[in-house]
Structure 1
Amino acid sequence: MAVYVDAAIWKHEGLLWCHMLADDVAELHRFATTRLGIKLSSYQGPPKTSAPHYDITGLERDRAVRLGAVECSREEIVAVFRRVKVPNGKVHRRG
């Protein structure tokens, strides 16, 4: 099993951010909370989004890579996203 990060290119609140995904949700949580010290409340997944992931800062990304996360191009992270996506995982609200 692996943990994956894409490039930190999204700007928000003065920081650059990226996505962190994994082949297994338990591994994703373990890596994020135990190895990186990220709060579980930062997790984003169904029903809010269709793929389990964390948005992490560029600094957290650098640490994740040093701890063994796999750096991915945009195309590669999209492939991971599709692989781990929960079918019908995102809830759409009708207005």
Structure 2
Amino acid sequence: MILIDPPLVHRYGRVWSHLVSDQSFEELHAFAASAGLPPRGFHRDHYDVPQEYYDQMVVLGATEVSTREVVRRLSAAGLRRRR
């Protein structure tokens, strides 16, 4: 399942969400490519998504969850990659 957390991270003059998969990186990369997200947006285990694209990600099928839930689901799936 593709998950997205609320846009809460302030950086580079924008506010960002995290887009993840709780199944596989292949699922995540396929969703991101179909949504038009650039590969440079991928960081270890997630894509950074600017606030202005949040609603589009949800319309395309991403499930809205809390940041805590994103971390929990990534960890449970063995996909969490810490710094």
TM category (shorter chain) comes to 0.7 to 0.9
Percentage of identical aligned residues: 27
Q: Superposition RMSD on alpha carbons, in Å?
A: 1.9
Normalized per residue, which structure has more helix?
Answer: 2
In the alignment, which of 49, 54, 76 is matched to residue 56 of structure 1? 49
CA contact (8 A) 1:21 1:80 kept: no
Cα distance change on mapping 1:73 and 1:39 into 2, 3 Å? same
Aligned to 2:39: 40
Aligned residues: 82
Offset of 1:41 from its aligned partner? 2.5
Give the Cα separation in 1 of the matches to 2:79 and 2:60: 26
Structure 2 gaps, min length 5 = none
In the TM superposition, structure 1's runs of 4+ consecutive aligned residues that sit over 3 Å from their partners are 84-87
TM-superposed deviation, 1:82: 0.9
Correspondence 1:1-95 to 2 at 5 A: 2-22=1-21, 23-34=23-34, 36-45=35-44, 52-86=45-79
Q: Larger C-alpha radius of gyration, 1 or 2?
A: 1
